[in-house]
Chains A and B, each alone.
Chain A
């Protein structure tokens, strides 16, 4: 009776939780409703976690003597895990968000892998389909765990250079194949040969070992600017692993939540890859190699340096300015100083917008969050598709710390590696200021003809320092602007 009631309650609560999680994501469609969306999802999650303790009434005879200890362990793990993560999630810098998301994502993958490990080592999975799904979830979850940790280390600049060894991709393929082979052998001997799973713990250990190693090897060669795709892929992986383990545990809430995230991760991955003009396979399994050197046509014009103060004053008397911020701005932590400058311009009657390229930053949409943190209202932040037509009517395009995403070669030069990539049409503005540290090339390693165009002027220096100089120059003009 108690079992039946517990199952009824757990089933109902999980059903509601699954709905709330979906509904929470549904409310993410606008910055206005999104904050309540995450709260709705949070309520669903808390309810599901609390209800899951009713499983104590349904445990089988073998586990019953261990129940008091198990309950204690579960409570302790919940409190420690949630406490530490909550504390670090509260205090992590917004600029470090990609690392944090990578790490929390890896945890989810690890949890899915660990559930699979218990099922496998305990020999609780029976039949070829269930066993295959468990192993597949274990594989994907393990890759997501170790891969996310490497991604975290890269984003946190603990690992500086992408690892590039000739033939590494081939070797990685071999490692993945070996893992699938071991998994296949486990299924074959358990289902076909009748060997119980508990009799082959070493095979299972090897399986997990190879899967974890593969996650590391797969992530090591991937470079910094490709990180948005990597994070999306591992997000999708963890979702998929959770969904698969949900099937193994016969828990539809896990299946639905996991698959929902799997689809979300896949969609974001494809969006990112499209914005970078590269296929997902190429990002994961190849890089902008030094091998494909190409003679870039001679570029007309010259680089024309100007002082930050002159640029600032010119914009003060412009009608409309569109700002193109890139990762360089985030690196110099100049978002707040840039917005100070923008407020001065707005006070002087200049119309200002921020144009964001989808891959600005180290994870999808990171630049938007950084600007929001600096206090920029979201209605000033416009996305590529909505703003591109407006450049030709703008007096000034101010490019700060961005390069490849404003390279007009993507539109014109068929031989360019970035040909076809959607770019922001900063070159169509009447005048273009480019704030840059030096004459370095962008991630794609190509010269940007925009910098040499007649109407483009270079402001050299650290983005934050340049913003301060521009602000001071405009303040120096006196009353109307300083009224801000």
Chain B
């Protein structure tokens, strides 16, 4: 037996239906303040089309197919990398009052880094 995936017509419609519903629910939770990163983030998500582009290009057997397949991978890769870069940049700018950086991770990293620098002057206490 193989593991080749085969999605029949009706199964496809079911997948589309459930996913659309899930997407609606997931996106509905996102506050308006994050709508721009959400849009560029979802932009990044559909960049997965690059996987389809790679599949198509690897299976190309004529020059025309190779040329168009190349364009598909080129554009898809641009979609993925660009979408990720701008989303990540934007999200890094959202900060809460009085707290540097998003989330606790960076804050703790900064705290951890601080004592090392201070050590020589005032050992122990931060």
Q: A residues touching B (Cβ–Cβ < 8 Å)? A: 3-4, 7-8, 11, 14, 17, 21-22, 24-26, 28-39, 41-42, 45, 48-49, 52-53, 55-56, 59-60, 62-63, 66-67, 69-71, 73-74, 76-86, 88-90, 92, 94, 97, 100-101, 103-105, 107-108, 110-112, 114-115, 117-119, 121-122, 129, 231-232, 235, 238-239, 242-243, 245-247, 249-268, 271, 356, 358, 363-366, 368-369, 372-373, 375, 377-381, 383-384
Q: Which residue from chain A places its CB closest to the CB of B87 in the assembled complex?
A: A38
**Contact between chains at A100 and B69 (CB < 8 Å):** no
Taking A107-B78, A268-B38 as known contacts, 9 extra A-B pairs with beta carbons closer than 8 A to each other, sorted by chain A number, are: A4-B3, A11-B3, A31-B102, A32-B96, A59-B58, A81-B75, A81-B78, A111-B75, A231-B39
Which residues of the other chain, A, contact B122 by a CB distance below 8 angstroms? none
**Contact between chains at A380 and B97 (CB < 8 Å):** yes
Which residues of the other chain, B, contact A62 by a CB distance below 8 angstroms? 61
Q: How far is the CA of A119 from the CA of B7 in the complex (A)?
A: 17
Q: Which of A21, A25, A78 contacts B27 (CB 8 A)?
A: A25
**Contact between chains at A114 and B72 (CB < 8 Å):** yes
Q: How far is the CB of B29 from chain A (nearest CB, A)?
A: 4
Report the 5 A-B pairs with minimum CB-CB distance, sorted nearest first.
A89-B85, A263-B23, A365-B35, A81-B77, A85-B82
**Contact between chains at B96 and A118 (CB < 8 Å):** no
**Contact between chains at A97 and B36 (CB < 8 Å):** yes
Q: Which residue from chain B places its CB closest to the CB of A103 in the assembled complex?
A: B82
Q: How far is the CB of A264 from chain B (nearest CB, A)?
A: 4
Which residues of the other chain, A, contact B72 by a CB distance below 8 angstroms? 110-111, 114-115, 118
Number of cross-chain contacts by CB at 8 Å: 420
**Contact between chains at B20 and A85 (CB < 8 Å):** no
**Contact between chains at B23 and A264 (CB < 8 Å):** yes
Task: State the main secondary structure of chain B at its contact with A.
Answer: helix
Q: How far is the CB of B18 from chain A (nearest CB, A)?
A: 9
User: Is B120 part of the contact surface with A, judged by Cβ < 8 Å?
Assistant: no
Q: Which of B6, B44, B57, B91 contacts A73 (CB 8 A)?
A: B57
**Contact between chains at A74 and B95 (CB < 8 Å):** no
**Contact between chains at A247 and B20 (CB < 8 Å):** no
**Contact between chains at B41 and A35 (CB < 8 Å):** no
Which residues of the other chain, B, contact A260 by a CB distance below 8 angstroms? 19-20, 22-23, 26, 42, 45
Q: How far is the CA of A88 from the CA of B79 in the complex (A)?
A: 12
Q: How far is the CA of A383 from the CA of B30 in the complex (A)?
A: 13
* Residue contacts A-B, CB under 8 angstroms, 22 given: A29-B31, A31-B33, A31-B34, A48-B48, A52-B55, A55-B58, A62-B61, A69-B66, A77-B77, A90-B89, A97-B90, A101-B39, A107-B76, A108-B46, A112-B49, A114-B56, A115-B52, A118-B69, A250-B5, A259-B20, A364-B35, A368-B32
Q: B residues touching A (Cβ–Cβ < 8 Å)? A: 1-7, 9, 12, 15-16, 19-24, 26-62, 64-66, 68-99, 102-103, 105
Q: How far is the CB of B125 from chain A (nearest CB, A)?
A: 28
**Contact between chains at B65 and A122 (CB < 8 Å):** yes
**Contact between chains at B66 and A267 (CB < 8 Å):** no
Given A231-B39, A262-B23, A268-B38: A378 and B78 interface contact (C-beta under 8 Å): no
Q: How far is the CA of A266 from the CA of B21 in the complex (A)?
A: 12
**Contact between chains at B82 and A251 (CB < 8 Å):** no
Q: Which of A84, A115, A231, A381 contacts B53 (CB 8 A)?
A: A115
Q: Which of A56, A63, A101 contacts B43 (CB 8 A)?
A: A101
Which residues of the other chain, B, contact A111 by a CB distance below 8 angstroms? 49-50, 52-53, 71-73, 75-76, 79
Q: How far is the CA of A41 from the CA of B33 in the complex (A)?
A: 20
**Contact between chains at A70 and B46 (CB < 8 Å):** no
Q: How far is the CA of A119 from the CA of B55 in the complex (A)?
A: 11
Which residues of the other chain, B, contact A110 by a CB distance below 8 angstroms? 71-72, 75
Q: How far is the CA of A450 from the CA of B16 in the complex (A)?
A: 47
**Contact between chains at B15 and A55 (CB < 8 Å):** no
Which residues of the other chain, B, contact A384 by a CB distance below 8 angstroms? 32
Q: Which of B24, B36, B49, B88 contacts A263 (CB 8 A)?
A: B24
Q: Which residue from chain B places its CB closest to the CB of A372 in the assembled complex?
A: B93
**Contact between chains at B71 and A114 (CB < 8 Å):** yes
Which residues of the other chain, B, contact A80 by a CB distance below 8 angstroms? 74, 77
**Contact between chains at B2 and A60 (CB < 8 Å):** no
Which residues of the other chain, A, contact B92 by a CB distance below 8 angstroms? 35
**Contact between chains at A26 and B59 (CB < 8 Å):** no
